[in-house]
Structures are given as C-alpha cells and as structure tokens.
Chain A
C-alpha cells in the first residue's frame, strides 16, 4: 500500500487545525457577545415611584456613573412578579429602548408583536430592521401640553399629562417651572390648574 505523501499529510493537518480553530472561534464568540450586545451594568438601583405602579431602575458602571435608565412595572410587592420584572422603556446613551429581551416591542399596527420582536431603539428604529419612524401618526391628543408650554416640552409630541407642580411641595430645587393644567378643582389646594381639562392631556391613554 502506498503511503501518503508529505504534502497530503501537511494539507490534512492544516484542515484539521482550521476546523478546530473555527470551532473555538464559534464557541468563544457565542460566549463573548450577548444577544443584545449590551454591556451588563456593574450594579443598579431600583425605586418605585409611590402610587404609580412604575419602578425606575438606574444602571451604574464601576465608577458609579449612571449608564442607563429603565422603567417598568412595579413588582416589589410580589416576589414571583419580581423575578419576571420587565422593562417597558429605557434610555441608554440617549438612545431610547422599547421593551426588553423578555418582552420585545413590535409594531402596534400589526396587532401582534410576535412578528416584529426585538428591542426597539431610538427614533423607533428597531434592531430587527423594522423602521417605525419618527412621525407620530397616531393622532394623539395633545391639548394638555399645548396649554402648558411652560416646561419647554414640545407639546405636539407629548401625549402624556403635563407635569404638575403642587403648591405645598418641597421640590428641593427640582421644579422646572412647568405649569399644571389638569385643573382638579377638588378644592384641595394642591392644584394650580384652571382649565377644564379632565385628563385630556394624557392623550396617549385617554386620547379623547
């Protein structure tokens, strides 16, 4: 039987080495790169805003600098829920993120987010390639914000209620002077409002 030539042996060894290396690279890359390519924070601080059902989490790096902010359901009162805590929205490096890996955002127009899963980033550009655009074509009710322009927000885009300043609040210097147009009229003295707006400012929700 004819023995293989040195050239054939060298070629075979090269193929074996290349194949093994490819395997190593594949495994290592899988370990090194998380699916969402996001560096895990060194630590985080989560606080529930009382009476809202919303928790705000600040991610901190090793230096103690805040690197990201997320908001989601308040799950503090339920250990089971806490384990399944989901971020609804977030901001990292001034980039908006919608949903999270466990509960991604999809096009609302589709009625089913399953086909458009993926964390959506700033400007509505989804990581999975679906461009949701910047234009708000939902016809949001923005009465409240237009009435209260004191906070410098661009009212045409803001469908949420205008921030409220309570007369007796110790704002600790944090009040940005935004006006309150909610007009509770409850006689509590806690509202600076005067308009008859009864929640129309949260057009994202009431939309009326």
Chain B
C-alpha cells in the first residue's frame, strides 16, 4: 500500500513540471505590436508657398505622369533606428496591366509579378508560386501624384530640381511615414516633365525610438516597357 503514493508521486511530478512550464509559457507577455507607419500625430500645415516657376514645373510633371503608360523604377529605402538597414526595390510599372518588382533585403531577393488576374511570387532563384488571391491592381501612380500635389514651400533650382516639404497629412496621403514633422522631398524632373528621381527624408517613431527614413527612387524607360504577362 505504501507503494501507491510513491507511484502517484512519480506520475504527478512530471505533470506538475509540465503544468508549471505551460503556465509560464502562457503567462509570458506577448509582444505589443504597433504600426508606426500610420501615425496619429497632428499634421503640420503647409506654411510656405511655392513660387510660380516651381508650380509650373510641378504641374507639368503631374500632366506627364498622367500620360505615362509605363516606366521602370529603382528605389533604395534606408531605415535607421539603431543600425541603418537599406532595402532595394526595383521593377516595372505598366499602368494597364500591373507591376513587377524585385525586393532585395540583405542577401535575399524575392520577386513579384502582379497582374490583374493573379499575383506571382518567387525567391530568386526559385520557381514561381502564385498567391491564392490576386492583389488588386490599383493605379500605381497615385502615391507619386499625391506627393506632387502635397508639396509645399517648393523651390526649384535650374529647370530640373524641385525641393519642398510634405506636411504630416500630405505625407500620409502619399504613403510616407511621419511623426508629424514635415518630410523633406527633392524631385528631379526632366524636360519632358517626367519625374526621374524622388528623394524623401522623413522621421517617425517605432519601438519607442526615433526612426529616420530615407528613400531615393529613380524612374526611367518611360513608355518603353512591354505589357506585363504572367511568368508561368
């Protein structure tokens, strides 16, 4: 009879350990996730005005953008909170059919072809896979258009460079993160009115830290890109 309690002790001791471990797992706090891309800080009103010459340049760029059927892009985004990290995004926009791009992060490259009927993805190198649902193909120029329209206090140097700021609200409208302070923008516009380069410097807060974000994007091959087709 004395063996029974011992047997029971043997059986329950591991169980007790499991219970303790399991409870500890369940009790540990989860990471608090926050999205800093969409901040709720009050926007800064556009105080400065844009001179007539610069307004003309921006208007021309807006008109040309509206006519552009396709172009290629190459962007480098650097996020610096503690250690700066740069990500590269390059690809092609064809307004009537979709977007294709390559994301390079560290030594890893992934590729996307987003057309109306489906979205194809792959690691490079690697076989193509297909997302279960096609990603909606919206007008990819909308964010650049928002940037052109939201620019305040813009000045131009020469005939090609425009510098200005985006208020918090304007930045958010263009998909640019901000802590409420204006984002600094520099545009390069060619003689035909194409925006050939965009440089954005902004700041936001994430993980309780100030984060500096820099984006440098270039555009080329206007109306010289063939329609996008599914890769498989």
Contacts and interface: CB of A to CB of B under 8 A. Distances in A.
A45 B36 contact: yes
A133 B127 contact: yes
Contacts of A135: 125-127
Given A47-B176, A199-B224, A204-B120, 18 more contacts: A7-B4, A44-B206, A45-B79, A48-B174, A56-B77, A69-B85, A73-B135, A74-B143, A77-B146, A78-B138, A123-B126, A161-B221, A169-B199, A171-B216, A183-B224, A184-B223, A189-B190, A206-B228
B136 interface: yes
Residue of A61, A74, A86, A205 contacting most chain B CB atoms (<10 Å)? A205
A188 B191 contact: yes
B129 A190 contact: no
B207 A61 contact: yes
A180 B5 CA distance: 80
Query: Which bucket holds chain B's interface residue count?
Result: 35 or more
A204 B100 contact: yes
A21 interface: yes
Interface in A162-176: 162-166, 168-172, 174
Interface in A27-57: 27-29, 31-32, 39-57
A44 B37 contact: yes
Interface in B31-87: 31-38, 65, 70-79, 81-83, 85-87
User: A interface, by DSSP: helix, strand, loop or mixed?
Assistant: loop
Nearest to A50: B144
Interface string B7-37: 0100110010011001101101011111111
Contacts of B126: 96, 123-124, 132-136
Contact of B91 (A18, A160, A200): A160
Given A204-B113, A204-B231, A205-B94, A138 B221 contact: no
Contacts of A86: 131, 133, 135
Nearest to B227: A206
